[in-house]
Structure 1
């Protein structure tokens, strides 16, 4: 009986162990299925991402294989390059200086002077040649002229009387009433009277000229710059300059330049002048170059002539851009030209798409960019942007933007 009970208990125990093994197996299969499903989902997500964001799966695989093999040109950074060519570039010299009248005329007293009655002009007025600028009292000179005019009449009366006496004497000499000596004396008297008439007329003209010189007149047409006289003032030969005129209103900029820049200029070259505070520039041309150089500053003066404009005020400060000539040079945008302690340089992309540093000499800065006067000929592929992030010898994928306009 005990045996049977014991046997029965073992059977129950065995069945319990079998059931436990079955549950364990099912649990393991379920876990494995979940892992497989998770892997499949992850693989599908990766494939979808590659398809939508990186191309087809096989392409991505190919690129991955290539990357695993050590990389290729497709992994090189893309850079924008430009072939600048060569164009006509104006050589510009920049300078500063002071505005002034091109030919300044000081006007003072030409006559004996006197008291000023009226001043007829103001600074900024235009005047004609011979126009009266100021009137001086002429009462005394007017009376003197009248006296001289009366003396002319007296002399003319004497000359008429002398002529009549000579005519009568010539009629009587043939009859023997008077001698030829008397006729000669009357002829001399007549000639003296005629001469006194001429003397009186000359004295009157002299007085009139002196009176006319009392008024202050413009020696030439131009612009009044200064007025240094007022009504009631007594002026004379020692009064100094009463007016200053700019002949024909012409102005100039006296531009300070180095001796090296002066050597590049010629009379007649074009220039653009911009006064301080002015909203526009004025066209002019160099009409005179200084024959000497200041020994201290090592500078000379280039005089740039300008037509009159109310925006040009003598004594004002202005800058000038003088066109000293033109050359054939490549022009690059500022983004392509780099610099360091060795100077200016650019990056060139060679035939093997490797970056090469090229030292250059820069010229004038134009609206189109920086002129390159040495280092390249314009046929190279020059890196346009992000040159500071490249290194010499690095492989890149160049994308040509296009040939720059010359």
Structure 2
């Protein structure tokens, strides 16, 4: 078959002027452009459809933190001490007379008594008989004195008639005076016996609280029996706090204190009424005596702790949450003018219910991070939120 007459069963040859190859290239270019755009969109928005962070340094976030400018407040300097409880004025009560057998005990420990009230009585049968005998002697002496006076009166009537001499009058006068003197002697003896009998009653020397009782009915007691009762005069108690020599140096009578007995959650206010004038040369310690009002929880002989106000100072006061510690060092975070956190080493003082006093490291004008300081790092950018401190006093109530 000739070339001219052959069927048209294949693509014709493309001459240089034909448009077929350039149209196909344009289609390929469009497809490639679409693919590039899709890849770029995928990289920008990610799989979730949200824009991703731009490539490069991450923008710094500034977390909000609460800060406070504490200022300066008057804070009591507290001295902590331990010691024992006792009666402020303890009164030992024993036998004042010759003693004898106890017949009755009228009081119990913990009972309040008045001055002169009978605590116990002793057998007085012998003393009663002696007193009756002395009373009879008084009556005999009074009869003799009455007779001597009558005889003297008759003699004075007869002396004018010469029946009685003046010497006889003088003799009768002396007899009358002697009889009157015997009456007074007998009366004095009876008074002495009654006083001795009265001393058989064991009485309270002053008003107060009975602490101990060491006598029972039927017991024979005497001058050598020792103390039968112990009393707290007026019921007043005290704590004898043991303090170091350095703490005693700045302590004076009249300062306030708070006493807490061991095993109790209650605290009792008191005042220092005596500071030891001597120091134990072995322990280098002394005693401060804290006066307390009576309360059943204050038991003499018990152990207690005390917080004594040893002075006052004006220092910044922070909440405990603001103070951090690391290897025995306390510190806080402060926020500078550029709103960046900085670590500041501090020295803490007294810790009270109102907060922690800062004795060194702050002047009170700084912006101190109240919380979340443990999650900050030096130089970190923050957004400070100022908190106004409540107007409280760090002093203990009187």
**Structure 2 length as normaliser, TM-score?**
0.86
Query: What residue in structure 1 maps to residue 89 of structure 2?
Result: 103
Take 1:170 and 1:278, find their aligned partners in 2: how far apart are those partners?
Answer: 87
Query: What residue in structure 1 maps to residue 386 of structure 2?
Result: 401
Distance apart, 1:388 and its partner CA: 4.4
Asked if 1:290 is matched to 2:289, the reply is no
Query: What residue in structure 2 maps to residue 383 of structure 1?
Result: 369
Take 1:277 and 1:359, find their aligned partners in 2: how far apart are those partners?
Answer: 37
Take 1:266 and 1:144, find their aligned partners in 2: how far apart are those partners?
Answer: 58
Query: What residue in structure 1 maps to residue 298 of structure 2?
Result: 312
- Secondary structure of the 2:10 match is helix
Query: What residue in structure 2 maps to residue 230 of structure 1?
Result: 216
Take 2:44 and 2:193, find their aligned partners in 1: how far apart are those partners?
Answer: 122
Take 1:198 and 1:303, find their aligned partners in 2: how far apart are those partners?
Answer: 53
Query: What residue in structure 1 maps to residue 10 of structure 2?
Result: 11
- Secondary structure of the 2:277 match is coil
Q: How much is the aligned-residue C-alpha RMSD, in angstroms?
A: 3.3
Q: For structure 2, which runs of at least 5 residues remain unmatched after alignment?
A: 15-19, 392-398
Take 1:24 and 1:248, find their aligned partners in 2: how far apart are those partners?
Answer: 118
Take 1:46 and 1:290, find their aligned partners in 2: how far apart are those partners?
Answer: 83
- Secondary structure of the 2:168 match is helix
Which of 77, 80, 83 is 1:94 aligned to?
80
Question: Residues 85 and 403 of structure 1 are in contact (CA less than 8 Å); yes or no, is this contact kept in structure 2?
Answer: no
Query: What residue in structure 1 maps to residue 162 of structure 2?
Result: 176
Query: CA 1:89–1:48 in 2, change beyond 3 Å: closer, same or farther?
Result: farther
Distance apart, 1:350 and its partner CA: 3.0
Take 1:22 and 1:354, find their aligned partners in 2: how far apart are those partners?
Answer: 64
- Secondary structure of the 1:376 match is coil
Query: CA 1:48–1:180 in 2, change beyond 3 Å: closer, same or farther?
Result: farther
Alignment of 1:267-282 (within 5 A): 267-282=253-268
Question: Residues 360 and 374 of structure 1 are in contact (CA less than 8 Å); yes or no, is this contact kept in structure 2?
Answer: yes
Alignment of 1:73-84 (within 5 A): 75=61, 78-84=64-70
Take 2:242 and 2:50, find their aligned partners in 1: how far apart are those partners?
Answer: 69
- Secondary structure of the 1:214 match is coil
Distance apart, 1:152 and its partner CA: 0.2
For residues 115-151 of structure 1, give each alpha carbon's deviation from its aligned partner in whole angstroms, at most 9, with x where no partner exists.
Answer: 1111111111111111111111000000000000000
Q: Which 10-residue stretch deviates more, 212-221 or 311-320?
A: 311-320
- Secondary structure of the 2:199 match is helix
Distance apart, 1:334 and its partner CA: 2.1
Q: For structure 1, which runs of at least 5 residues remain unmatched after alignment?
A: 55-59
For residues 65-88 of structure 1, give each alpha carbon's deviation from its aligned partner in whole angstroms, at most 9, with x where no partner exists.
Answer: 9x75x96xx545554432111112
Asked if 1:142 is matched to 2:128, the reply is yes
Take 1:257 and 1:200, find their aligned partners in 2: how far apart are those partners?
Answer: 61
Asked if 1:323 is matched to 2:322, the reply is no
Query: What residue in structure 2 maps to residue 115 of structure 1?
Result: 101
Q: Which 10-residue stretch deviates more, 211-220 or 381-390?
A: 381-390
Distance apart, 1:236 and its partner CA: 0.5
Question: Residues 123 and 227 of structure 1 are in contact (CA less than 8 Å); yes or no, is this contact kept in structure 2?
Answer: yes
- Secondary structure of the 1:220 match is coil
Which of 233, 238, 244 is 1:247 aligned to?
233
Query: What residue in structure 2 maps to residue 57 of structure 1?
Result: none
Question: Residues 350 and 357 of structure 2 are in contact (CA less than 8 Å); yes or no, is this contact kept in structure 1?
Answer: yes
Which of 205, 208, 217 is 1:219 aligned to?
205
Alignment of 1:361-372 (within 5 A): 361-372=347-358
Question: Residues 271 and 285 of structure 1 are in contact (CA less than 8 Å); yes or no, is this contact kept in structure 2?
Answer: yes
Distance apart, 1:254 and its partner CA: 1.1
**Structure 1 length as normaliser, TM-score?**
0.84
Q: Which 10-residue stretch deviates more, 243-252 or 146-155?
A: 243-252
Take 2:362 and 2:224, find their aligned partners in 1: how far apart are those partners?
Answer: 68
Query: What residue in structure 1 maps to residue 395 of structure 2?
Result: none
Take 1:206 and 1:10, find their aligned partners in 2: how far apart are those partners?
Answer: 168
Question: Residues 92 and 322 of structure 1 are in contact (CA less than 8 Å); yes or no, is this contact kept in structure 2?
Answer: yes
Distance apart, 1:384 and its partner CA: 2.8
- Secondary structure of the 1:254 match is strand
Take 1:296 and 1:28, find their aligned partners in 2: how far apart are those partners?
Answer: 103
